[in-house]
Amino acid sequence: MSDHDTTVFRDMFNHSFDAQWILSADMHIEHANAAAVSLTGYGIEELVGQPLSLLLPPKIAKAHDTYVAHYNKHGETQGVLGQPRRFEVLARDGSLIPIQLKAFRLGRGDDERRFGATMVDLRAQVLLEKEQLHTMAQLKRLALIDPLTELWNRRAFDDALDRQCALVSRHHSAAALAMIDIDHFKQVNDTYGHAAGDRVLQQLASHLKEIVRKEDMCARLGGEEFGILMPACDPESAVIVIERALQRVATDRFDLDDGRAISISFSAGIAAIETDAAADILLEHADAAMYQAKKTGRARVEMWVPEIAATPVRA
CATH number, position 194 = 3.30.70.270
What does the pLDDT average to over 17-39?
92
8-state DSSP, 152: B
Q: Is 224 a catalytic residue?
A: yes
Query: Is 134 within a domain?
Result: no
Query: Residue 14 is part of a domain; what is its CATH number?
Result: 3.30.450.20
Cα separation, 281 vs 261, whole angstroms? 38
What does the pLDDT average to over 6-28?
86
Regarding whether 298 and 152 lie in a shared domain, the answer is: yes
Q: Tell me how far apart the alpha carbons of residues 25 and 47 are, in angstroms, rounded to a whole number.
A: 16
Q: What is the pLDDT of residue 315?
A: 43
In a domain, 139, yes or no: no
**Has residue 314 been placed in a domain?**
no
Same domain? For 233 and 93 the reply is no
- Domain hosting 258: range is 145-303
88-96 long-range contacts, CB within 8 A, separation 24+: 88/57, 88/60, 89/39, 89/40, 89/55, 89/56, 89/57, 89/119, 90/54, 90/55, 90/56, 90/57, 91/39, 91/40, 91/41, 91/55, 92/40, 92/41, 92/42, 92/46, 93/41, 96/57
pTM: 0.62
Does residue 260 sit within a domain? yes
Residue 82: the pLDDT is 72
Catalytic residue, from 76, 224, 236, 274: name it: 224
Contact present, 150 and 203 (Cβ < 8 Å): no
β partners of residue 180: 226, 268
Asked if residue 190 has pLDDT above 60, the reply is yes
What is the pLDDT at residue 312? 45
Element (H, E) at 58: helix 58-74
CA angle 256, 260, 261 (to 5 degrees): 75
Half-sphere exposure of 137 (CA within 13 A, CB side): 6
Q: Are 120 and 192 in contact (CB under 8 A)?
A: no
Same domain, 111 and 152: no
**Do 117 and 149 share a structural domain?**
no
Task: State yes or no: pLDDT of 307 exceeds 80.
Answer: no
Helix (H) or strand (E) holding 64: helix 58-74
Residues 98 and 235 in one domain: no
Over residues 57-110, the pLDDT tens digits come to 888 877 777 776 666 666 655 556 778 889 899 999 999 999 999 988 887 555
**Who has greater pLDDT, 2 or 128?**
128
60, 187: one domain: no
- 1 vs 17: CA distance, rounded Å: 24
Look at residue 89 and give its three-state secondary structure: strand
Residue 46 domain flag:
yes
| pLDDT, position 126 | 92
**Cβ-Cβ contacts under 8 Å for 38 (sequence gap 6 or more):** 19
Query: What's the pLDDT tens digit per position in 225-263?
Result: 999 999 999 999 999 999 999 999 989 889 888 888 999
Per-residue pLDDT, 165: 94
Kindly state whether residues 94 and 230 are assigned to the same domain: no
Structure confidence at residue 5 as a pLDDT band (50, 70, 90): low
**In a shared domain, residues 20 and 92:** yes
Report the number of distinct structural domains present in the chain. 2
